[in-house]
Chain A
Amino acid sequence: MRKVYHGLALLLFASILQAADLVPLGQLPKGKTFLVILAHHDDHTWEWGLGGFAARLADAGWTGYYVRTTNDEKDGNEWGPNDLVNLREAQDAVRHLGMKEVISLNWRNDHMSSAPLKEVRAQYILLIRKYRPDVVMSWDPWGHYDRNPDHKRVARAVGEAVWMAGLANVHPEHLAAGLEPFRVPQVYYTQREDYGKGHTPNIAMEFNQAELDRKTDAFWSHKNVRGTPASPEARRLSMETPSREAGKRAGVAFAELFYAIGEWDDLPGLKEYLQTNARPK
């Protein structure tokens, strides 16, 4: 009997430990429009991020836009055709996810280190003011050891654009086109965790089997770089395995993990007060 008690106590201790390690499960955010701003044609469909959450938002009635920053000229078989083939496959992927459109900015692939940050940022600010997204998703600007120069540059530019779009004195010329200042209220950053300790997720976003299937379809839309899966099983597991692993971290079947910047995280001294005292009009 004593052994049973010990066993139960150990089990309880283990489950407490496991619960303490869980990444908090996020609720579906409030809003209707989201922008995914990344560097390449296939960044929004990779194993660890975005596709499942994007599909869930689309299912909930949100309108999503994918901002592809580079022209992807080097990704695939041949320089010339790569540009067009990768764009078309990105458009296919976006359709699978239920998003509306790919907005291609056409910066030179793998040359973003020398792209002027302010010019890239200015284009994002314009799009944020145009679409007024409730959510923006991108690479984590504070992630470590991502060796891709385009990812790093895009992340930095997005990290500034999401809040600077709210300042009227930043690109005041936009006002002449009717584009009012707008600060993005919620930002979700993704990154491989095994790149280093820079990116530590603080939220998990769950999605269902149908959304996982669409994430899988979106991933394999990129035939120019990913070819064809070895078997239907390999195709299924390619997205199911990482989604399940992330789901385990939050105690659900399938999920993707993010570092989320919440609505008032830019004002740490006022966050609690605003959350407590803001009320419906």
Chain B
Amino acid sequence: MMIALLLLFASLASAKTVLVVTADASDFILAAGGSISAMTAGGDRAILVRVTNDDKDSWRLPPEETASRTKAEVEQAAKILGISEVHSLGYRADELGGVSPTEIRDRILFYIRLFKPDVLFIPNPYTEYDEVLDRFYTGLAAEEARQAAALPNFQLAFAKTGLEPHVTRELYYYAQPFDPRRREAESTATFTPQPKVVGIGSTIDRKLRAAQALKTINFSMAMRIRQRLEDTGRKLPLLETVDDAAVNKLVEINVRKLAEIAAKGSPYKQAEEFMYAGPEFQVPQKLR
């Protein structure tokens, strides 16, 4: 009993706070859901900041209803991954190019100072050939927010409300495998993020259930695939009837294949791949 209590205290003492920034509802699940789930299962506290409202991603539903349904579904998905809070910034999807980058940065910075995370997950803005630019704009803003959150001369008003500067020690850049050169190390300099592969064998089922919780987006994906095939005189046997079972199967194929792609060349069967900057990756003093 005593040992169990000691172990509990020890794990609580080492528990980290993880802040996950996502552009659209599915991004963080597909690229990082397994790793986040492993952290929460180990006792870490995770919080999600969702930048857009996903109002475009449905099949024949108006934007308002799309946004409303997806909000409920992403909260359900986050819960499955063990994320305790979801904060939605509410920007209209696919329109971040018209929003002030400083505004997005400062809203993410607010959450960094509020929750003082040890770990930050952000979309990788340097990944190439990812056509969804919401992820690019969010990644840039979040990367800058992490930097600015640590500097006392940014957002002086925040300090008046107790939101003091904060350094986030670990940074994970996540992306789906669109970039053919994503495995190339950017640089050997100690302060440059490096490729990191995380095995997700123990959490992939939870990741899958989280991905399947996004029913509106998944149904839209299935219908759009069917439409693209129909436009070119083809069909997919799985999608002859687009019901929950067919959509969930499609999502399962997607999630498991993504895990297999990420694991290629690693000791794992299922994985997620990141660019990672840990506590040891600091800009040397002489270069600051």
Contact = CB atoms under 8 A, between A and B. Distances in A.
A198 B128 contact: yes
Contact of A266 (B63, B98, B131): B131
Interface stretch (A50-58, A218-226, A241-249, A268-276): A268-276
Interface stretch (B38-46, B104-112, B173-181): B173-181
Given A167-B56, A273-B253, A160 B94 contact: yes
Contacts of A118: 95, 97-98
Interface string A106-130: 0000000000111000000000000
Contacts of B183: none
Interface in B85-136: 94-95, 97-98, 128-129, 131-133
Contacts of B176: 268-269
Interface in A46-72: none
Contacts of B177: 268
Interface stretch (B12-20, B160-168, B191-199, B223-231): B223-231
A163 B132 CA distance: 9
B128 A142 contact: yes
A166 B224 contact: yes
B180 A270 contact: no
Contacts, number: 104
Given A170-B56, A269-B258, A270-B257, A281 B97 contact: no
A164 interface: yes
Contacts of A259: 129
Contacts of A139: none
A169 B180 contact: no
B57 interface: yes
A149 interface: no
A268 B132 CA distance: 14
A8 B55 CA distance: 63
B253 A281 contact: no
Interface string A79-120: 000000000000000000000000000000000000011100
B131 A278 contact: no
Interface in A230-263: 259, 261, 263
Given A268-B178, A269-B254, A281 B128 contact: no
A33 interface: no
Interface residues of A, number: 41
Contact of A268 (B57, B97, B133, B261): B261
A23 B128 CA distance: 19
Contacts of A167: 56-57, 94
Contacts of A266: 131, 178
Nearest to A281: B235
Given A162-B131, A198-B128, A269 B257 contact: yes
Interface in A152-209: 156, 159-160, 162-164, 166-170, 172, 181-183, 185, 198, 200, 202
Interface string B39-71: 000000000000000011111111100100000
Interface centre among A117, A169, A183 (most CB of B within 10 A): A169
Contacts of B255: 269
A280 B235 CA distance: 6
A279 interface: yes
B267 interface: no
Given A166-B224, A269-B261, A277 B56 contact: no
Given A117-B98, A274-B225, A30 B232 contact: yes
A278 B229 CA distance: 8
A182 B231 contact: yes
Interface in B189-236: 221, 224-225, 227-236
A169 B131 contact: no
User: What 6 pairs between A and B have smallest CB-CB spacing?
Assistant: A269-B254, A269-B258, A269-B257, A169-B56, A142-B128, A117-B97
11 contacts: A142-B129, A159-B131, A166-B224, A198-B128, A261-B131, A263-B228, A265-B129, A266-B131, A272-B257, A278-B229, A281-B233
Interface of B: 30, 55-63, 66, 94-95, 97-98, 128-129, 131-133, 176-178, 180-181, 221, 224-225, 227-238, 250, 253-258, 261
Given A200-B181, A279-B234, A281-B233, 7 more contacts: A118-B98, A160-B94, A160-B131, A164-B94, A268-B261, A269-B176, A280-B233
